[in-house]
Amino acid sequence: MSSTTFPMAADAFSFDRTISDMKQGVASATGAQTDMTAKATQAGKDFVVFSQGNMEAIAQASQVFAAGSQDLFRQITEAGQAAMHEMLVGVRAAAAAKTPKAIIELQANLARTSAIQAITEGARIAQSGVDLAERVSAPLLARTVAAAEMATTHRA
C-alpha cells in the first residue's frame, strides 16, 4: 500500500509545484506587462508634451515671420518712395537746367546717386531679410535641439 500512496504524494507535490510555478509566471508576466504599460504611457505623455512644444514653436515662428515680413515690406516701400522722390527731384532739376552741359551733369549725378542708393538700400534690405530668417528659425532650431536631446535621453 505504501507503494501506491507514495506516487500519489509525489503527484500531489508535483501538481502543487506546477501550480506554484504557474502563479509565479503569471505574476512575473503581469509585472512585466504593468511595467511596459507604464513606460508606454509615459512615452505617450512625453510625446504629447513635446508635440505641444513643437506647435508653440511653429506659432512663435509664424508670428515673428508675419511681423518681420510687414516690417521688411515697409522698408522696401520706404526705399522705393525715397528713390522715386530723388528721381523726381533730379528730373525737375534737369528740366529747369539752362544748358545741355548742365542737363548731362544732372543726369550723371542722378544716375550715380540712384545707383549708390540702390546698392545701399538693397544691402540693408537683404541684411534685414537675413536677420528675419534667423529670428524665424530660432524657435524651430530650439525644438530641433530639444528633439535631439530627447532622443539621446530616451536611448540611454
The C-alpha atoms of residue 150 and residue 45 are separated, in whole angstroms, by: 13
How is residue 31 written as a grid cell?
509585472
- Quickly state the pLDDT bin for 141 (edges 50, 70, 90): very high
Largest separation between any pair of C-alpha atoms in the chain: 145
- Among 140, 143, 121, 135, smallest CA distance to 69 is for 135
Residue 66 or 13, more confident: 66
- Residues of the chain above pLDDT 90, percent: 56
The C-alpha atoms of residue 17 and residue 25 are separated, in whole angstroms, by: 12
Least confident of 12-16, 108-112, 147-151: 12-16
Residue 8 in this model has a pLDDT that exceeds 70: no
Residue 88 in this model has a pLDDT that exceeds 70: yes
Residue 145 or 6, more confident: 145
Tell me the domain boundaries of the chain.
43-155
- Among 138, 136, 142, smallest CA distance to 72 is for 136
Note the pLDDT of residue 7: 55
Is the pTM value of this prediction over 0.75?
Answer: no
Residue 78 in this model has a pLDDT that exceeds 50: yes
Asked whether the beta carbons of 110 and 92 are under 8 A apart, the reply is: no
Average pLDDT for the chain: 87
Residue 4 in this model has a pLDDT that exceeds 50: no
